[in-house]
Structure 1
């Protein structure tokens, strides 16, 4: 194994605590738009959004269309709710612990950092900015901008090419067993799974529960 020269990350569920962020956002949205939502209890509004959202795998146009229909929301359109989501979500971004400290440590070791995430371009850039981590990255690839998404091997290879590192000089860290871990392994990178209990027991060469565990694995690989 060569020395590890680059670490590439997923965003949602890996650096961004998406579950906590969504909960915070939906609570704020209900309060902010209460005039049009007051006929629904806050708890029911929040729980139904989280259910329909399917942890981010259903885009919000479908979520809000369903909610407007189910809850007979008349004062607000689904487009208004969606626009509120797009423009306001980044104010509710919650990072996982030890995020900035990890990036500072990796940079001190002269390790390049990249980010490859599926999602909408400007929306994800706003969230990256809200976490205060955009300046750490040497490359950022977002599926909407790239016209391809994980686990397509080409998006991983493009990131490695931009960092000018070989596949066996790099690791990829993500929470999705197929899109992240297998996707990275399929191009020859080391896939590191950031454990997410929703996926059950995932077979991965390396597993972390906290970002602070990552430098130890990188030293071991190097």
Structure 2
């Protein structure tokens, strides 16, 4: 069946989440000071990302809510028993530096431009609509997408088929008419394939492997992979 739409992940796919998170946390630690237990800023940055991955997975599995995973990340990172307000305030100070570092990957806009006329576009994210809609507006690309579908509001997250199907329903398209592009081989590409979409793994870091998946190393390869514009 003809591919008529591209469904996009946001973080570390079109938006440089990892770069912004590291830059923002580095600036935050300059002002807050290095928490006890860390010998260097680099060690703290690695720990923050690992802690984020663990608690985000808990959120995706329904073990906590969106705000709860943020608070748990802060408490584990600083290794102190902060109350909810203290944890929220700490995260908000970090978020200000993180947001100041927001940027699209250099290949994102050119790919969106090349695909603008031939394909419809939407977003499926495991975050919240409040965060992701605002992020896309700040980055100047919200109007590129017909719909922004997020797990927090859906109550189901990638790689569950229901998340992908909800996004296809927002486009009124059969899953076989939709290609999903994301940076995670299992959550994004394999999840999309299992749900009946064309899953495409954006492997920016060159991890390789996973020969069963369609893989690209940059968004500049996406137009050639999808082929000419569809009528």
| TM-score category of the 2 structures, normalised to the smaller one | 0.7 to 0.9
Contact 2:127 2:150 in 1 (8 A): yes
Correspondence 1:1-222 to 2 at 5 A = 1-2=1-2, 4-31=3-30, 34=31, 36-37=32-33, 42-54=41-53, 57=56, 59-69=69-79, 77-86=86-95, 88-109=97-118, 111-195=119-203, 197=205, 201-219=209-227
Q: Give the superposition deviation at 1:126.
A: 2.7
* Alpha-carbon distance in structure 2 between the residues aligned to 1:43 and 1:195: 24
User: What secondary structure sits across from 1:108 in the alignment?
Assistant: coil
Q: Give the superposition deviation at 1:180.
A: 1.1
Q: Give the superposition deviation at 1:96.
A: 1.7
Q: Comparing 11-20 with 86-95, which one deviates more in the overlay? A: 86-95
* Alpha-carbon distance in structure 1 between the residues aligned to 2:228 and 2:212: 16
Q: Give the superposition deviation at 1:89.
A: 3.0
Unpaired stretches in structure 1, ≥5 consecutive residues? none
Contact 2:29 2:41 in 1 (8 A): yes
Contact 2:129 2:148 in 1 (8 A): no
Q: Give the superposition deviation at 1:42.
A: 4.1
Measured at CA, do residues 62 and 190 of structure 1 come closer, stay the same or move farther in structure 2, by a change above 3 Å? same
Q: Give the superposition deviation at 1:193.
A: 0.5
* Number of aligned residues: 214
Measured at CA, do residues 198 and 22 of structure 1 come closer, stay the same or move farther in structure 2, by a change above 3 Å? farther
Q: Comparing 202-211 with 44-53, which one deviates more in the overlay? A: 44-53
Q: Give the superposition deviation at 1:139.
A: 0.9
Contact 1:7 1:173 in 2 (8 A): yes
